[in-house]
Amino acid sequence: MTGVRARGRDAGQASPLYVFMLVSLLFLALAFFAVGQAGATRNGAQSAADAAALAAAKESRDRFDLGLLDGPGWEDLFGGELTGEDGCAAAHTYAAANGASVSECGALGDGRWGFRVTVRSVKPVGDTILPGTEGQHASATATAVVLPRCSFEAAADDVPDEEIPDGGNPDESRDDEAPADEAPTDGKKPSPGSLDCEGTKLDLDPLDLPDMSGLFEVRLTED
C-alpha cells in the first residue's frame, strides 16, 4: 500500500509540471506566430515600396521625349544633369496593387534621377498575444534610380567652340557641308551624335530614335 501511495503522490506532483510545460510551449508557439505575422506584414510593405519606387522611376523614364532634345540636351541627359517628369502617379497604382498606400513620394533631388517612396500597409498586423498589434500598420521606404546604359558623343558640328583645335575657324564651312545655321538641303535633321551602348555603336537618327527603355535602366538602390 505504501508503494501505491508513493506512486500516486508522484503522479499528482507531475501533473502540474506537465500542465505548466504545456502552457509554456503553447505560449511560445503563439509568440512565434505573432512575430512571424508581424514580419510578414513588414515584408509585404517592403515589397509594395519596392514596386512603387520602381514604377515611379520607370514612368518618369518612359514619358521622357527624346525628340525634344538638341545636342547639348543629349549631353545633359546622359551626363545626369537632366531628369524626367514626375512618376508618382504610377507609384500609387502599384502600391495599391500590393496592399499598401503611398505616404510619401518624390524625386530624389540630390543629382540622381530617381524617386523615393514610403508606403503603409493597408491591413494591420492583427490580433495576437502581443498587446497593441491589432492596430499597427507596417511602413517601408524604397528608392529607385534611372541609370544610363550608354554613353553619348556629340556630333562634330555640336562640339562647343572651346573644343575647336587651335587655328580652326568655327565660322568657316567646307564646300561639302551646309553652314551650321542652315538646314540640310534634303530637309533631314542632322544627327545630334552617337551612342556607345556596352560596345555597340549607334548613330542617332532624329527620325528614328531608340526607346528610352533601351537607353536607361531602372533599379533599386540604397538611400
pLDDT digit string, tens, across residues 202-216: 899 988 999 999 999
pLDDT over 50 at 198, yes or no: yes
Q: Note the pLDDT of residue 15.
A: 77
What is the DSSP code (8-state) at residue 124? -
- Confidence band (pLDDT; 50, 70, 90) for 18? low
User: Given this model, what pLDDT does residue 38 score?
Assistant: 57
Tell me whether residue 19 is in a domain: no
Number of separate domains in the chain: 1
Residue 142 near residue 116 (C-beta atoms within 8 A): yes
Confidence check: pLDDT of 220 > 60? yes
Q: Is residue 56 a part of any domain in this protein?
A: yes
Domain of residue 201 covers 29-155+193-221
Cα separation values, 4 from 7, 9, 10, 118, Å? 5, 9, 10, 69
Under 8 Å between Cβ of 78 and 55: no
Is residue 175 domain-resident? no
Q: Is residue 7 part of a domain?
A: no
Please determine, for residue 21, whether its predicted confidence score (pLDDT) is greater than 60. Answer: yes
Q: Per-residue pLDDT tens for 164-191?
A: 455 555 454 444 444 444 445 555 678 8
- Give the pLDDT of residue 168: 52
- Model confidence at 41, pLDDT cuts 50, 70, 90, reads low
Q: What is the pLDDT of residue 12?
A: 54
Query: Do the Cβ atoms of 69 and 154 come closer than 8 Å?
Result: no
